[in-house]
Structures are given as structure tokens and as C-alpha cells.
Chains A and B, each alone.
Chain A
Amino acid sequence: MKFIDEYRDAESANAFAREIRRITTKPWTIMEICGGQTHAIVKYGIDELLPKKIRLVHGPGCPVCVTPLESLDRAIQLASRDDVIFCSFGDMLRVPGTSKDLLSVKADGGDVRIVYSPLDALEIAKKNSNKKVVFLAVGFETTAPANAMAAYLAKEQNIKNFSLLVSHVLVPPAMEVILASPNNQVQGFLAAGHVCTVMGYKEYEPIAEKYKIPIIVTGFEPLDILQGLYMCIKQLEEGKKNVENQYSRVVLLDGNPVAKDIIKKVFCTVMRKWRGIGEIPNSGYSLNKDYESFDAEKIFDLQDIVVEEPSECISGLVLQGVKEPSECSAFGKLCTPEHPLGALMVSTEGACAAYYRYKGHGKEDNSMDE
């Protein structure tokens, strides 16, 4: 497929890897933010192409992994109601809540439907006027334009039986939490290309300056990631700390102005709790006052149970790049993709699931030219 296959060429990847080996003189720790990048790195063995001096740590950029238990428990409450059709992206269904997941609600007879797009949920609402249709709106900035549009169109078209349970998260505040931590080991960032497709990359400039760290906006194919790493290592070796754009075929400095406009009309920035990390100020979106009547948290009476993560799960430390999944005592034993203890083992973009699949446990083929 055009714009995919050529970016997976093994010979080109090796050329980049050799060039990285040539310029690397010191040890560096680099974090890729996005779970999609983590998945590609582990799947294609990109980490194994790099010199030993380069350490890659995996960031918190998987919305499935960081959606807090409280949001899942609210989703499960709503999905269990007889008057609700609950719609969600497929990968949220197996994320464990406190006592069960959405899939088991469905197995118990709840009307839980997997949708490809939030607009599909809106269509379901139009066709089922006797039911309340709730869409679980999770995601990073990448998904915000789609979810915002569902709310926007629902209001325009006066669809009263549609609402969103919003648990949106934003990347830059989480990067700052990682950098400000006394445990921080990250010296360079690969920023998530698709987040920047929407938002642009101006907001990374003050972060690069404040924490003196190079940030490279990077795509998702093996060659993108290798080039992003190359740009990052080159800056580190030269003592630079700039924001650069590797993914220029898709990302513009200002992002997508139409998308940003709809996001602004529908959402407001709020404090958000991240699974494994905790509360981060201004790190999430909720529906703003104008869209209150589409906010499932406001229109349903939801009980809040304060819950604790299983104590074995060290996903918070993994998400901040302090520990590797294999350092968790539950990894591959108590916690497997079939029986996940933490969200990082559920999503294919979670670091624990990627390590489980491609590094040792039930290892799958990871050749570059597929």
C-alpha cells in the first residue's frame, strides 16, 4: 500500500540504523510518547537495531491504558442499564474496571455495541429514539475532532437521546509531569505524529526550552521512527534542544485549523486523572457549558466509587519510563493478555502487551518486510 510499504523497507531501515550507530558517542534515553510507536518499535525490533548506548522508554500515549478506573466503572454502570445502548471503540471492551469489563456486561445481556466512528453511534441514536445512546468518548488530541464533531452534529440536528461519556486526555501536560519528576530519565522525546496532525507542534516549543530537551514530531512506520530517532540523537550529540518535524508529509506547524475550531466550540480543558499516574491539571477535555445536555456525567445519576489499582501493577512507573514491563512481578504470570491485571496488558498499544507478544512470551513474527 502506498505510504506504508515503502516505509517498511528493511534495507533503508538498516541504512538509518548504521547512520545512528555512526553518530552515537554517548548513552541517551529517549521516550516515544505514543503507544502506536511503542507497538511498531517492539514489533519490528527497531530497539534491537540501535546501539546499546541508546535506551528507548515507552510513554503514556495509549488512551486505552490511561483511561482511569473511575471512567470505566461509570461506563459499566451506564452500559448495564436497560434503557441505554452503550457504544464504544472496540479496544475499550476488555479493559478491566474494578469488578468487571464492558465485554462481560455485554455477555450478561447489556446492549453494548462496538463502533468504528462516533458518527456511527449518532446514527444508532437516530434509529433508536426509544433508547438513550451513550458513546464512550476516549482518546488523545487525535480522536478529539471526531468526538467533538459527534457532539456538534447532535446539537445541530437536535438529537436528544444521544450523549457522550467523555474521558479525553492531552499529551503535553503528561510530558511535563514526566520531565518534572525527580525520577526522570528522559533526555529526548519522539512526539506523536497524529496528535500533532490535529494540534500542530507550537505547544512543544516552551517545553523543549524549559526542560532543555529535543522533541521530534515523528510518524509511525519503521522508517519514520528511525529517522525521528536519528534526528533526536543528532541533536543530543550536538547539544541542541529544538522541536523538529520528521512527519512533515502529514503534520503542519499549526495543525488542522478546522479541527481545532470544532474542538474549541465543544470542549473545555479540565483536570484529568490518568490511570497509573494520577491527576494532572489541564490534561483533559470535557464537554463545555454549551454542550452540557449531551454530557452523560451530567444527565445520568452516576455513583462514584473511589477505587485502587491492583497492588502488583506497576503500570504508572512503566508509563513514565522508569520501569520496563518485564520488571513487573505479575508480567506474564498473573497478568497476561487473556487475563490482564492492568490496562497496559489489554491494548495492543500498551507496552506490557507489546513486550508480551513480541519479546519472548508467545513471540510473533516481526520481520520488517510484510
Chain B
Amino acid sequence: MCLSVPGKILSIKGDDPLTRSAKVSFGGTVKDINLAYVPEAKIDDYVIVHVGFALNTIDSEEAEKVFKEIEQIQIMEKKAYEEDIS
């Protein structure tokens, strides 16, 4: 029940801070989501959504970090392998 999923903001409605809402797409399924907790969110942002509320916007720069680490691991492994066979 703690399931929270990333979705993309398609459009935003209203400007009352408590009831501002958005149409958010989850891989094609669109739902109305309350934006009270992400006052900075704008169209095209990705948000993490839980029971109808966006809990935060997703930082795409931070999202890349894990892939950079995997790249590092793979470079290191390749180096170790090359040292091994030479």
C-alpha cells in the first residue's frame, strides 16, 4: 500500500495551493493528482505519486548517478580482466 509510482505531468489546473491538481500520465494511464506538496512542479516534470498526491518531483540529474556507478564498475572489471590475461 506504500506503492508510489513515477508519472509525468501533462497539464495543471487551479492555483489554490491546497487543491492545485494535475493530469499525470503513468505510461499512458492518466489520473488527476493533487499537487499541494510540490508547489514547484510544472508541466513535463516527473513526480512520485502516492494515493493521489505527488510527494516530490524527480531530480533527473540525481537519477543518472546509479548508471554512472554501473559504468565505473564495468570499466573497472574490464581493466581487471585485461590485467589478468596480459
Contact = CB atoms under 8 A, between A and B. Distances in A.
Given A15-B77, A146-B50, A250-B58, A224 B1 contact: no
Contact of B55 (A34, A139, A256): A256
A349 interface: yes
A277 to B, nearest CB: 18
Interface residues of B, number: 37
Given A2-B8, A64-B1, A116 B51 contact: yes
B37 to A, nearest CB: 5
Contact of B73 (A2, A18, A91): A18
Nearest to A153: B18
B3 interface: yes
Contact of A258 (B1, B3, B4, B39): B39
B58 A258 contact: no
B36 interface: yes
A3 interface: yes
B48 interface: yes
A138 B1 contact: yes
Given A16-B73, A248-B65, A117 B2 contact: no
The secondary-structure label for the interface of chain B is mixed
A178 B36 CA distance: 35
Contacts of B66: 7, 223-224, 227, 246
Given A149-B18, A249-B60, A63 B67 contact: no
A19 interface: yes
A12 interface: yes
A120 B31 CA distance: 13
B68 to A, nearest CB: 11
B6 A258 contact: no
Interface stretch (A191-199, A286-294, A328-336): A191-199
Interface of A: 1-4, 6-7, 12, 15-16, 18-19, 34-36, 61-64, 89, 91-92, 116-120, 138-140, 142-143, 145-146, 149, 152-153, 156, 192, 194-195, 197-198, 220, 223-224, 227, 246, 248-252, 256, 258-259, 262, 347, 349
Given A146-B51, A259-B37, 19 more contacts: A2-B8, A3-B58, A12-B67, A15-B74, A16-B70, A18-B73, A61-B2, A64-B1, A92-B1, A116-B31, A143-B51, A153-B19, A192-B2, A197-B4, A197-B56, A227-B66, A227-B69, A248-B62, A349-B1
